Amino acid sequence: MECMNILKTILTGSSRRDGKPLDFAAIGDMTTDAFITLKDASVNCDVDHHNCKLCVRFGDKVPYESVEVVRAVGNSANAAVSAARLGLTSTLISDAGVDENGDECVKVLEAEGIVHTDFIRRHKGMITNYHYVLCYDAERTILIKHQNYPYALPEGMAAAAPRWVYFSSVGEQSIPYHEEITKWLQDNPESKLAFQPGTFQLKLGTQKLAGLYARTEVFVCNLEESQLLLGMPDERDVKKLLAGIRAFGPKIVAITDGPKGAYVDDGTEQLFVPQYPDPKPPVQRTGAGDAFASTFVSMLALGMSVRDAFLRAPISSMSVVQHVGAQKGLLTRDQIEEWLKKAPADYVVKNI
């Protein structure tokens, strides 16, 4: 009962200094990322520069340049911070172990003071997710492991539903959790869903998550993920990819293609936006997709049109890749508008 009352207080906004109701509830795993910068490696690709592989000497001691530990990250944690910096009232619904890494993740979020942490459930006898990010040049390969937490939505979440739910990566043993979230969304039609699938959710395909796709307002993934989801590994026609995913139910589908830009289909038009020019060579690209997706969704939540939100999303990605970690470069709304004023003349949204 105490948990239910706390949740109702936060969702209705009566405990907030600004008095606003909750705009944004991000659901998904939280982790610590250890960024290991390699100095002795190579990258081998096919002739078309696809299917690239990071290579190090097998069975040898491989030197690395540096390591930097970044706490309280992950698709949903990044989205919660992004939404808060952009002016939305935000909370993170996540899971962690009762351990030092869990303590440090919560401390980092609490220190920033803009994301509610009341619904990060701590589990005795379990460890907090910890990922290793192998960095080479500006790209990265991530070694991931999601703990099998006993996932469950907070009690009383229906007391005052958030305007937007942002759902992303969770562990493999989470089918019942997806079903619980889908039912909650069906029972609370006033809440809009943004779905940015993680690795396991993509592997599940669309049939097992049909109810979730049907309830999705905004769906975001990258080009390779869209090909995987549709079972079309060689399809490069982005119009077909956008339409293929929309056929599963999402009203708005956005597909990112790294430095080549991004595409969106809202059912009335299909649009392209180029990458916002990097002011300096990227440090590393971890979090660029999260920054794009969360900024796009947040701008829609702030009342912008699809076209205007789409124009601003790459600016956040540009900023994030100038830093190590997925959150340091996340911008405020005013900062995004300043970058937009300085955009080159060809940085515009176009119909495709």
Indicate whether 159 pLDDT > 70.
Answer: no
Closest CA to 160 of 4, 303, 301: 4
Mean pLDDT, range 281-291, rounded to an integer: 89
Q: Are 313 and 273 in contact (CB under 8 A)?
A: yes
Q: Are 18 and 60 in contact (CB under 8 A)?
A: no
Instruction: Calculate the average pLDDT of the chain.
Output: 91
Could you give the CA distance from residue 97 to residue 318 in angstroms, rounded to a whole number?
Answer: 33
Indicate whether 6 pLDDT > 80.
Answer: no
Mean pLDDT, range 142-151, rounded to an integer: 93
DSSP string for 80-108: HHHHHHTT--EEEEEEEESSHHHHHHHHH
Q: Which of 87-101, 158-172, 326-340 is predicted least confidently?
A: 158-172
Question: 2-40+64-351, which class in CATH?
Answer: alpha beta
SS3 48: coil
Q: What is the pLDDT of residues 206-221, one digit of tens each?
A: 999 999 999 999 999 9
Model pLDDT, residue 20: 61
Mean pLDDT, range 144-156, rounded to an integer: 90
Cα-flanking dihedrals φ and ψ of residue 176, to 5°?
-60, -30
Indicate whether 296 pLDDT > 80.
Answer: yes
What percentage of residues in the chain have a pLDDT greater than 90?
82
Model pLDDT, residue 12: 45
Mean pLDDT, range 23-28, rounded to an integer: 97
Indicate whether 261 pLDDT > 60.
Answer: yes
- DSSP annotation of 323: S
How buried is residue 138: exposed, middle or buried, by Cβ count under 10 Å (0-12/13-18/19+)?
A: middle
Model pLDDT, residue 158: 58
Indicate whether 18 pLDDT > 80.
Answer: no
| Residue 70: its H or E element | strand 64-73
Model pLDDT, residue 67: 94
Closest CA to 295 of 273, 277, 279: 273
Closest CA to 133 of 58, 74, 200: 74
Q: Which of 19-23, 200-204, 341-345 is predicted least confidently?
A: 19-23
The CA distances from residue 122 to 56, 78, 329, in Å, are 37, 19, 28
Could you give the CA distance from residue 281 to residue 260 in angstroms, rounded to a whole number?
Answer: 15
Mean pLDDT, range 70-79, rounded to an integer: 96
Q: Are 277 and 344 in contact (CB under 8 A)?
A: yes
Cα-flanking dihedrals φ and ψ of residue 212, to 5°?
-70, -45
